[in-house]
Amino acid sequence: MSARKQLLLKAHRRRKRMSLLAVLLAALALGVAVVWWLLPLVLLLAWVAHEAWFADHLFYRSSDDYQYLFPDDAHSQPVTLEGGRVVLSHELEEGETLILCVRVQHCWLGRWLDPFIEVGDDRQDFERRASGQRYLNLSGQREQLASGELVIRGRHCRVRREARLYVMASPDYRQQRTLILAPHADDAELAAFGFYSRSPEVAIATLTQGEIEADSYQELGLDSAGAARLKGRLRSWDSMAVPLWGGVKASHCVQLGYYCLQLPAMVGEPGKAFGSRESGESDIRSVRRHNPLQLPADSDGAPTWNNLVADLVAVLEHYRPEVIITPHPELDPHADHVATTQAIFQAIAQSQCKPGTALFYANHLHDNDRWPMGPAGTGVALPPTLEPLPSDRLWSPSLDPETQLDKAMALGMQHDLRGPLPLKERVRRLIQWLLGARRWPVTGDDEFFRKAVRRHELFWVRRIVN
């Protein structure tokens, strides 16, 4: 977790504690003034209300405008919503990625239920009490838009009549040689299973073992270090085996074996070895035995930044990608994700292989832990950004229902996404299901089954200047 997100989370928890203290003091005063049994009742109702409506981690005001800049070659035109239908001001330009900038205003129910906008046969959700500028993803509905048949209708919110449509054209990157960078096992599936399951030439490089936070494995009778080693082995196996479900052969999967949450420290001291925080191991060769090629760090097994970059240079020159897929350097705050993108760009600078395009993804956000909001299977609206990102083109391929189901099954094979929910989270979901009309998929309990299995995958396209 980035330093900024840690500060946001601390401030969020501090405000929550102060609010709960105020409720407690009010309840105490009420109990003293009226009858004692009102105190536990008020506290119980306050807790239920918190779990139903105030437990989301949103580190911005819901009235803030989302801010986006798009490249100069993105076509745009003003449009109007007439009778709920999108009316173009002129002919629709060529391009498969369609983004509609709208202004929304929550209704009274939108304070307590998630406001969403029906987009043809899709829906895209926003935060409760949403007001201001938001961006809908119309990709996959070009024909309906061009014919004037695309219906936009707000639920628990109103959509202003005036809007602006952006159209961005890209080649089908699935048809180009691609290297996907996954900081951990499951990142490639979360961000790009639909992409790689439709790509004839793709390789996946996973940077870390994913060995930390292995408490549940201690139930097998292992100590903490043994549990971490087992989890690292299992997740390393996941990184090699699960892509086969999407058609990627083991000969195109590489596990580099570095250690979780140590990549940022490695950046600062490139020649120093950083072993695992929890497993007691410091030799990355323990999980490399199934790799299809020899790598520079196989000689000494030292978990150093210099070895990581050298490994990535070797991976680049072996697979010769034209496109790389890697975490978004400004949008995704996870420290290992940030370091992964730093590492691959350093490797490109040193390599003879020079990919021309980077596709960025965001599996985590600074400001909103629920994005993409709404139920599984629906569209992916653009995430909240309170300061404009670089003006990258967007590319958002659609996933048909069969591919979405395959993606959910791929996530179900990942050991880190299969554990049971804690009791507190199960109770919270029950309360939100009853009072907030929220729904979760039957494919898996982890929140990523809701967030990642969607109608769209979303990438930011940036040209790599070599």
217 and 126 assigned to the same domain: no
Which CATH number goes with the domain that contains 127?
2.60.120
- Asked if residue 118 has pLDDT above 80, the reply is yes
Q: Which of these three, 107, 135, 168, is where a domain ends? A: 168
End residue of a domain, out of 168, 188, 215? 168
Residue 28 pLDDT > 70, yes or no?
A: no
Looking at 138, 168, 198, the residue that finishes a domain is 168
pTM of the model: 0.92
CB atoms within 10 A of CB 289: 9
For residue 83, how many other CB atoms are within 10 A of its CB? Answer: 6
The neighbour count for residue 60, using CB atoms within 10 Å, is 15
Same domain, 308 and 370: yes
Is residue 362 predicted with pLDDT exceeding 60?
yes
In the chain, the amino acid numbered 406 is D
pLDDT-derived band at 41, boundaries 50, 70, 90: confident
Nearest alpha carbon to residue 134 among 371, 381, 354:
381
- The identity of residue 210, as a single letter, is G
DSSP one-letter code for 456: B
3-state secondary structure of 358: strand
Is residue 70 in some structural domain? no
Residues 144 and 177 in one domain: no
**Residue 7 belongs to what domain range?**
3-54
User: Is there a single domain that holds both residue 182 and residue 160?
Assistant: no
Asked if the model's pLDDT at residue 9 lies above 70, the reply is no
As a whole number of angstroms, the distance between CA 248 and CA 325 comes to: 15
Same domain, 221 and 318: yes
Q: Give residue 419's pLDDT band: very low, low, confident or very high (50, 70, 90).
A: confident
Task: Report residue 43's pLDDT band, with 50, 70 and 90 as the boundaries.
Answer: confident
Run of H or E including 339 = helix 335-350
Same domain, 143 and 203: no
Q: Is residue 143 part of a domain?
A: yes
Q: What is the mean pLDDT of residues 229-254?
A: 97
CB 311 within 8 A of CB 321: no
Tell me the C-alpha distance between 203 and 406, whole Å: 19
Q: Give the number of other CB atoms < 10 A from CB of residue 91.
A: 7
Question: 10 Å Cβ neighbour count for 208?
Answer: 32
At 366, the amino acid letter reads H
Average pLDDT value over all residues in the chain: 93
Evaluate whether 310 touches 181 at the Cβ level (below 8 Å). Answer: no
Q: Which of 176, 178, 231, 179 shows the shortest CA–CA distance to 206?
A: 179
- Region of poorest pLDDT, from 3-17, 115-129, 227-241, 425-439: 3-17
Closest CA to 165 of 104, 80, 64: 80
Instruction: State whether 29 and 95 are in the same domain.
Output: no
Q: Is residue 391 part of a domain?
A: yes
Please check the confidence at residue 3 and state whether its pLDDT lies above 90: no
59 within some domain: no
Q: Would 265 be classed as within a structural domain?
A: yes
Bridge-based pairing state of the strands 75-82 and 85-88? antiparallel
67 is a domain residue? no
Domain match, 98 and 217 both: no
The angle subtended at Cα 382 by Cα 410 and Cα 386, nearest 5°, is: 125
Q: What is the pLDDT of residues 284-329, one digit of tens each?
A: 999 999 999 999 999 999 999 999 999 999 999 999 999 999 999 9
**61 domain residue, yes or no:** no
Backbone dihedral angles phi then psi of residue 110, each to the nearest 5 degrees: -70, -5
User: Structural domain tally of the chain?
Assistant: 3
The answer to whether residues 373 and 304 belong to one domain is: yes
Within a domain: residue 443? yes
Are 293 and 215 members of one domain?
A: yes
Q: What CATH number is given to the structural domain containing 405?
A: 3.40.50.10320
Which of 341, 346, 383 has its CA nearest to residue 358? 341
Do 450 and 302 sit in the same domain of this protein?
yes
pLDDT at position 47? 86
pLDDT of 33 > 60? The answer is no
Same domain, 249 and 284: yes
